[in-house]
Amino acid sequence: MSFITGVGLTAFGRHEGSSSLDLMSKAAELAIADAGLKRADVDGILCGYSTVSPHIMLATVFAEHFGIKPSYAHAVQVGGATGLAMTMLAHHLVEAGVVRHVLVVGGENRLTGQSRDASILALAQVGHPDYEVVLGPTIPAYYGLVASRYMHEYGVTQQDLAECAVLMRRHALTHPGAQFHDAITVADVMASKPVALPLKLLDCCPVSDGGAAFVVSRDRTGETGVRVLGCAQAHTHQHVTAMPGLSELGAEIAIARAKATSGVAISDVRYAAIYDSFTITLAMLLEDLGLAGRGEAAARVRSGYFNGNGAMPLNTHGGLLSYGHCGVGGAMAHLVETHLQMTGRAGNRQVSDASVALLHGDGGVLSSHVSMFLERTR
Amino acid sequence: MSGVKDWTAGAEAIVYQSCPACDARQYFRRSFCCSCGAPDPVEKLAGGEGVIYATSLVCRAATPEARAHIPYNIVLVDAAEGFRMMAHGDNDLLIGDRVTARFVPFAGRLVPYFARTRS
């Protein structure tokens, strides 16, 4: 068994003068305190990567900086799926008895530490260096390609996708740590600057500074336990040119495996934390995971199904689209918010019943997937 | 690998590989077939005909070289020979359009560029 025993999250947006290590440290300190532990209790460290400060040994750099001498430590790199992939590994490490408390941490000064162009350029490198990157695509263009095909096959419109952005913004308005605090409408999304059509500026997550961390432990440390029920991965390709057909993507494979290992059905799920780098990402994943019928994600958003008081509250902190995206820590915020909801600490965002949660992360261009079920135990 | 030059090496050509053992086609050059693992896939010159699979019109680029071409259309093309490739294309291309390749300069190099096939 493994439990998420503590979580920590900074505000996302501008943290002028903070390094990636500063943001990681801040989040780590919050998570360790939240778990009721001391630095010295942590015997395992898993961290992500920083595009601003690349290093071949970031976990030990962080351990030294933070003042921990762990018995197990290394970095993990699976793009946007890194946070959940680290959580999955931490779960297996504590179950196997390798360590007692794993600190999972990600943080980056991606907004103020480099130019926006540098961020866009760094991220475009997930493409093939010889056959794709030289053509001048961007991450939004890779997802724009997927969006055009998805819209074509399933009759989804740009207005449909815009609904996802509006929902995430509405949720962010209730969280003081979110990067954006202005309400938007479908018309605003439609009128926003074209980035890589069919995706426009408000279909895309922002670049942010921020950090997130959690502690995964063999035993619960608090009154309310949040237990990992089961998790699974799927990796079907790296490059969009080599992506399989829309009906053969990794999200469907990963969720099927996670359901099989945990015995959980989608009908058991009460809260959803789903990767939302772009509106198309969120719409597709909701449908691939079975949280909406094919081509029906937007209709479910419009009906209030994913609202805080709806049947399946979704990314109540505002997601990558509106809480913000600082790299590895970006999607880790989804897990932090899930933990707050499951332990009844989400304040004005608290949903009525977050007893079972589904989390899903995606890295690359729908390349790497991690699905995970969490359960609240009292 | 026989090393037939293609557009990635500055030639006006699209090259793919075909596996003599399992007949799979692949676009990214390797010294083996990624479907069955057999060595020495045969390099073949593609005819430049295909069908548009997906499109995205890039309006925001990250380098000054690419910015000079804005907006440019990134397309995925299903080539007649049975492989998929990324290229540039006319801005008004639609999914399902039959297209033919030529080569145009982009950010200091030659890239494949697709326009609707004239019938």
Q: Domains in chain B: how many in total?
A: 1
Domain that holds residue B85: 49-116
Query: Residue A135 corresponds to which tokens in the numbers above?
Result: 């053509």
Q: pLDDT-based confidence at A241, cuts 50/70/90?
A: very high
Query: Residue A329 corresponds to which tokens in the numbers above?
Result: 């820590």
Query: Residue A280 corresponds to which tokens in the numbers above?
Result: 């198309």
Residue at B71 is within a domain: yes
B76/A193 CB distance under 8 A: no
User: Dihedrals φ, ψ of A136, to 5°?
Assistant: 80, 30
Cα A345 to Cα B3: distance, rounded to the nearest angstrom: 61
The sign of the torsion formed by the CA atoms of A247, A253, A254, A258 equals positive
Q: pLDDT-based confidence at A229, cuts 50/70/90?
A: very high
Cα A7 to Cα A27: distance, rounded to the nearest angstrom: 8
Is B54 in a helix, a strand, or coil?
strand
Cα B98 to Cα A219: distance, rounded to the nearest angstrom: 60
Residue at B30 is within a domain: no
Cα B94 to Cα B73: distance, rounded to the nearest angstrom: 11
CA A47 to chain centre: 14
Residue at B29 is within a domain: no
Cα A181 to Cα A173: distance, rounded to the nearest angstrom: 5
Q: pLDDT-based confidence at B4, cuts 50/70/90?
A: confident
A263-292 residue pLDDT tens: 999 999 999 999 999 999 999 999 999 999
Residue at B28 is within a domain: no
Cα A65 to Cα B59: distance, rounded to the nearest angstrom: 41
Number of other CB atoms surrounding residue A224 within 10 Å = 14
CA A309 to chain centre: 22
Q: Phi-psi category of B3—alpha, beta or left, where left has phi over 0 and alpha has psi -120 to 50?
A: left
Query: Residue B42 corresponds to which tokens in the numbers above?
Result: 């045969």
Q: Find the mean pLDDT for residues A186-214.
A: 98
Residues of chain B with Cβ-Cβ distance to A128 below 8 Å are 28, 86
Residue with tokens 């690359």: A364
Residue at B31 is within a domain: no
A3-114+208-217 topology per CATH: Peroxisomal Thiolase; Chain A, domain 1 (3.40.47)
Substitution target in A119, A135, A197 with the highest count of B β-carbons within 10 Å is A135
A169-190 residue pLDDT tens: 999 999 999 999 999 999 999 9
B47-100 residue pLDDT tens: 999 999 999 999 999 889 999 999 999 999 999 999 999 999 999 999 999 999
Q: Find the mean pLDDT for residues A34-61.
A: 96
- Give the model's pLDDT for residue A67: 97
- Cα angle A337-A303-A341, degrees, rounded to a multiple of 5: 15
DSSP A268: G
A54-103 residue pLDDT tens: 999 999 999 999 999 999 999 999 999 999 999 999 999 999 999 999 99
* pTM exceeding the 0.90 threshold for the entire prediction: yes
Mean pLDDT of chain A: 97
Q: pLDDT-based confidence at A117, cuts 50/70/90?
A: confident
Question: How far does chain B reach from its first CA to its final CA, in angstroms?
Answer: 36
Residue at B112 is within a domain: yes
CA distance B60 to chain A (A): 5
Please state whether the peptide bond connecting residue A198 to the residue before it is cis, i.e. omega within 30 degrees of 0.
yes
β-partners of residue A106 are A212
The pLDDT > 70 percentage for chain A reads 100
β-partners of residue B26 are B17
Number of other CB atoms surrounding residue A261 within 10 Å = 14
A306-346 residue pLDDT tens: 999 999 999 999 999 999 999 999 999 999 999 999 999 99
Q: Which alpha helices (DSSP H) does A270-313 contain, by range?
A: 279-288, 297-302
Cα A58 to Cα A289: distance, rounded to the nearest angstrom: 33
A115 pLDDT exceeds 70? Answer: yes
User: Dihedrals φ, ψ of A285, to 5°?
Assistant: -65, -40
Residue at B3 is within a domain: no
Substitution target in A241, A278, A280, A366 with the highest count of B β-carbons within 10 Å is A241
Q: Are A156 and A279 in contact (CB under 8 A)?
A: no
Q: pLDDT-based confidence at B45, cuts 50/70/90?
A: very high
Name the residue facing B86 among A120, A131, A149 (closest C-beta). A131
Domain assignments of chain A as residue spans, ordered by start: 3-114+208-217
B74/A239 CB distance under 8 A: no
Is A251 in a helix, a strand, or coil?
helix
Query: Any CB–CB contact under 8 A between A132 and chain B?
Result: yes
Is A269 in a helix, a strand, or coil?
coil
- Cα angle B70-B8-B14, degrees, rounded to a multiple of 5: 100
- Give the model's pLDDT for residue A162: 98
Name the residue facing B56 among A121, A131, A144 (closest C-beta). A144
Q: Find the mean pLDDT for residues A11-25.
A: 97
- Give the model's pLDDT for residue B2: 56
B76/A240 CB distance under 8 A: yes
Name the residue facing A149 among B54, B74, B106 (closest C-beta). B54
- Long-range CB contact pairs, B16-24, < 8 A, 24+: B16/B43, B16/B44, B16/B46, B16/B79, B16/B81, B16/B83, B17/B41, B17/B42, B17/B43, B17/B44, B18/B42, B18/B44, B18/B81
Q: pLDDT-based confidence at B1, cuts 50/70/90?
A: very low
Residue at B13 is within a domain: no
A124-183 residue pLDDT tens: 888 999 999 999 999 999 999 999 999 999 999 999 999 999 999 999 999 999 999 999
A363 pLDDT exceeds 50? Answer: yes
A196/B88 CB distance under 8 A: no
A238 pLDDT exceeds 70? Answer: yes
Cα A41 to Cα A25: distance, rounded to the nearest angstrom: 16
Query: Any CB–CB contact under 8 A between A198 and chain B?
Result: yes
CA distance B45 to chain A (A): 16
A116 pLDDT exceeds 80? Answer: yes
Q: Find the mean pLDDT for residues B33-38.
A: 97
Q: How far is CA A145 from CA A280, B10, B94, B107, in A?
A: 10, 25, 12, 21
